[in-house]
Structures are given as structure tokens and as C-alpha cells.
Structure 1
Amino acid sequence: MYETFYGLNGKPFSLSPDPNFYFASRGHQRVLSYLRYGIHQGEGFVVVTGEIGAGKTTLIKTLVNELSGDTDFVIGQIASTQLEASDLAESVALAFGVSNEGLSRSQIFNRLQGYLTQRRLEGKRALLIVDEAQNMPYSTLEELRMLTNHQVGDRQMLQACLVGQGELRARLQEKRMEQLRQRAVAFCHLGPMSQEETQGYIKHRLQRVGWKGRPELHQDALDSIYSETQGIPRRINTLADRIFLVAYLEEKEMVDRDLVTEVARELAEEQPSASDESEAALAGTQKMVSGQGEELMEQRLSAVEERMGSLEKLMDCRSLAKALIQSLQRT
């Protein structure tokens, strides 16, 4: 839509992580340097954390692109969605393309070990990248630590890179994670971009798709985008994409602060407010409580009915016994 109108050869603000749009902010470059260092150590864990939308996945994809041209590396990737410890070996095997159909867990583990041992004997290094690692149960993290303990000679067979949100960082500080934490050769956190970097990021992405200055971006618009997004790449992409769409629909040749404010307000209105979520939660609770109350009342009524039935039977028995006694007395 707006790409054709403004003479762009692609979508500049896609939400899908794309290393072709990697922007070397100070924070991103620092984390990438830590990753390179940690991975070339060939041992232990590399841990990358950052808030939602900070650009972690784009960063990792950029690194994978770099390493894909290095024949010394074999790379496997998994996304942790509450992965259980008992399923870890199977997931890791699949990540490296190791066939395990119809095999038991012990057979899968042995086949994976065989694969990793062979790669190490060939002089290759196996790197496992675990995305969304904050979702991993403690037992699975411990299982992963044990899996990376195996060596061929004095060389580690498998190195792991854990990528996750800030919760991962907090979890690794807990006492029960001390052994894993001690084996982290690089530990880095990806924060938001500065105001200057945010402006550079926007222009960088536009230039990647052939932007020639249409529409013109007024300085106050760039300042306003930073204020609205606080330098978080995903937020910037969401807001900027909508700004360009509205600018196209209104055939604007300049993006200014007013347009940014208008679009930011629209996006905010589309998101459920905290009060809406609270009301929805309260309504759900009330409905649940109401349902439980009705169920409890039915149970009580059933109990009363049973008791009434028992009483009626008892009264009938008493009446029968009384009549029998009177009959015996007459005789």
C-alpha cells in the first residue's frame, strides 16, 4: 500500500525479525560482541536477556547468519514453551536434524550424544540457541546444564546460548541456579535505544527499502516517536508502520508531531486498558463465584431432599410400628 505510494521497494517496519534490517546501536553492538566472544570460547553458557521487543531475536539471527558461513559450527535452535526436562533431549536432537522417530528416550539421548561426539571429532563446535528461555522449568535448565557437561577429551561437546526476557536474568540469580550461573562465560542485557539511536534506526530501516525522503520526516515527529516508544524497536516498528499508513491514506508528504500523536492515540485506544482487563477479570470471577454458588445451592437442596426423604420413611416406619402395637394390644 504505502510502499508503492512513497516509492519504497519493501516494507520498512515489519514486526518479523529480519537480520537484513539489523541496526548497530551501541547496545546491540555491545551484546553482539559479547556473544561472539562467548561463543568462540567454545564452552559454558552464553546468556542474553532483554525486555519484550528489544531486538533479541534479530540480534541472534544476525549472529547465526555470521556463523552459517563458518564450517566449524553446527547450530541448532529451539524455542522454549514450557519444555519439560524429559523432552529436552528429543527437542535438541530435532534441532540438529538427528532422526529419532520410534526411539525411546534413552535411545534418543544416545543417538544425540553420538552425533555431538562425531561433530567434535571432526573439529566442529555444536551451538544450541534456546529462545524464550525464561519459560524453561528449573528441571529443564538443570537437564540442559547436565547435557552440556559431556566432553570429548577436554573439549565440551555442546555449548548453549540462552535468550530470554528479564525474568530469565532474575531466575539465574537464584541459589538453585548457582551451578549454571557459574558456567556462564558471557552474560549480557539488551536495553532500549537512546533518542539519537531511535532516529538513526528509523532512517536506517527506511533507507534499506530505498527511501528518498518521501514522506519527509520532521524532527519533532522523530522526537515524538521516541517519546511514545522509549526506544524499543518493536514499539517503534508498530507505531511507524501505522504512521506511514495513515500518511498514505491522507496523501501527506510530511510526517509531523501532530500525526505521530494522533496515530499513537489510536493505537493506545486499540489496546485494552488496565481497568477493562480488571473489569473482565472481575466479571469472570463473579461468574465463576455465581456458578459455584448455584452449584453449592443445588448440592444443599439435594441434601435437604435426601434428608426429607429419610424423615418421611422414618415417619412411615413409626406409624406402621404404632399401628402394629395397637393391633397386638386389642388381641
Structure 2
Amino acid sequence: MNATDKIKNFFGLAKMPFSKAIGVNELFQGSSFKEACSRLEIALENEDIALLTGDVGSGKSNVLRFFTHSLDPQAYKTVYIPADNFKIGEIAKRALAGLNVEIPYQATAAIRKLKQSIISLNHDKGIKPVMVIDEAQQLPVTTLISLKNILNYSMDSENLLFMILCAQKSISETLVFSSLESLKRRIRVNYSLHGLSLEETSLYITHQLKICDLERNIFTDETKAGVFHHSKGIISTINAVCFDLIIYAAAHSKDIIEPSMLEVVLQNKL
């Protein structure tokens, strides 16, 4: 029996909680999560671009996973692009790869072929591409300016592509540049995820245990409150602390996780 199995057996877990290996339908839906998804749905129906921002670990990727998973594959085709210091030609080439279209060598040809492919998908198959550009704060200003080149159709009278820019909050410092005024005006749906509340943090911890087939609560209310105050409701931090707590508790044969154990775990993280 390996170390992980020993921990699962000790608590009666079907799998390890607080892991990123979680099914889309098992994601915890806090108030900010729900509002983000709702705004993306509105943007999909009415706009050609939306901006989703949030702190590192706030759950942006979870929102994107849930939203894109909920789309009708007969009506939408999702293309996911993790951004870097890309020029617009590289964005076009990666989008073509996501659409399973042959990629031209030259950037201008790639942009032209991408637009043609998007038009064809819409008019011939009734499918609108949904392009997710993650970590969009990494894109150069020149690339952000050039996004209009792949969003503009029929003299900007048709929404044939829906683009989601997902970024850290620092992108707001870039969007103040006058050269990006046109893009900023185009983004009418803009939502910033916030951390879980104290109540939501408690529910989240319980939810994580429940999807691992553990119905009883092994975290005391005081411990949950301590996790919230340390994490400020940021999901990735909650996961990291609670994961360590479960390991610590199992190693010391403690079936209830007390605040004193949280203090020890947090000290070891320093």
C-alpha cells in the first residue's frame, strides 16, 4: 500500500481531495463563479469579446472549464490558447491548430486563413468558434491592438467569433494605454473573480470531502475559519493548506483537524 492509499484508508476517502484532478461537474460553484459564468453566457449571446480577470489561484481556469464544457458542441467549437509574448500571427496559427486547419508559414497568410475558416464554420456548418486566450496579460500591446483583425467581419456587423481574454488583474494597467482604447471600448463584458467568503470557504471544504465520498466533517469550524483568514478565500491556497492538513492529520493518526494543527502546517510552509 502506497502513502496516498494509507491516507485515503485512514479517512475513508475514495480519492484525495483538494486536488486539481477534479471533474467539471464536481467543481464548487461559489457566488463569484456563478456570476462569471452568467456574464460569459450573456457575452456569448451578444458580444464578440469578453474579459475575465482575477488573482492567481482565484478559480479563473475552473470558470473557463465549466463554461466551455457547457457549450453545445453542435453550435460551438472551443479553441484554447495559453498566451505568451505572442504576435498576432502566432495567435492565428495556434487558433488554426485548434480548429484542425493546415497552418500557413507566413503570419499574414495565417490570419487570412483563420478568418476564412471562421466564416466557413459559421456559414457552412452553423458553428461559432470560441477562442479562449489564457494569461492574456502576457500579450504585447501590439498584439492586443491587432486582435481586431480577427474579430471584425462584414465591416464589424457580424459576431462570427467569440473571444474570451482571461488574465490576471494586472492587465488593467495595460488597457489604460490610449492605443488600446478601441479594444477597451469593445470589451463591454468585463468581470473580475473574487475569493470565497468565510461561509463559502467552509462549504468548499465540505464539498471537497463529499466528492471524495467522505460525508463526515473532519475539519472543525475553527479550523475552517483559520484556513479562510490565511487564504483570503483564494481557492488554490485553500487547496494547498487543506491538502497539507490531511497529510499531517493522517501521519499523526488524528481523525479531526484542529486549529493547532493548522498552526503547525502554516509554520512549516514558511
Q: TM-score, normalised by structure 1?
A: 0.75
One-letter code of the match for 2:113?
A: R
Q: CA, structure 1 residues 145+17, in 2 after alignment: closer, same or farther (shift >3 Å)?
A: farther
Distance 1:266 1:21, change over 3 A: farther
User: Is 1:26 aligned to 2:28, yes or no?
Assistant: no
- Residue 78 of structure 1: SS of its match in structure 2? strand
Greater relative contact order, per chain length (Cα 8 Å cut-off, separation 6+)? 2
In the alignment, what sits opposite 1:164?
167
Bigger CA drift: 205-214 or 248-257? 205-214
Paired residues of 1:44 and 1:185 also in contact (CA < 8 A) = no
Which residues of 2 match residues 138-217 of structure 1 at below 5 A?
Answer: 138-151=141-154, 154-213=157-216, 216-217=218-219
Match of 2:258 among 253, 256, 261: 256
What's the counterpart of residue 74 of structure 1?
A: 77
Which residue matches 2:68? Answer: 64
Q: Which residue of 2 aligns with 1:307?
A: none
| TM-fit CA distance, 1:228 | 1.2
Q: Does 1:135 align with 2:119?
A: no
Q: RMSD of aligned C-alpha atoms?
A: 1.8
Q: How many residues align?
A: 264
Residue 118 of structure 1: how far off its partner (Å): 0.8
Unmatched runs of 5 consecutive residues or more in structure 1 = 269-331
Gaps of 5+ in 2: none
Shift of 1:75: 1.3
- Separation of aligned partners in 2, 1:15 and 1:262: 24
Q: Compare 198-207 and 79-88 and name the one that shifted more.
A: 79-88
Larger radius of gyration: 1
Query: What CA deviation, in whole Å up to 9, does each residue of 1:61-86 have, x standing for no partner?
Result: 0001101x341111111010111234
In 1, are the aligned partners of 2:48 and 2:160 still within 8 Å (CA)?
Answer: no
Structure 1 residue 18, shift from structure 2 partner: 5.0
Residues 22-50 of structure 1: per-residue CA shift (max 9 Å, x gap): 21111111111111111121x33100000
C-alpha separation in 2, matches of 1:136 and 1:158: 19
| CA distance in structure 1 between the partners assigned to 2:206 and 2:177 by the alignment | 41
Partner SS for 2:263: helix
Question: Percent sequence identity over matched residues?
Answer: 20
Deviation at 1:16? Answer: 5.3
The SS at the match of 1:9 is coil
- Mapped partners of 1:55, 1:3: distance in 2: 26
Greater share of residues in helix: 1
Amino acid at match of 1:113: K
- Cα distance change on mapping 1:253 and 1:118 into 2, 3 Å: same
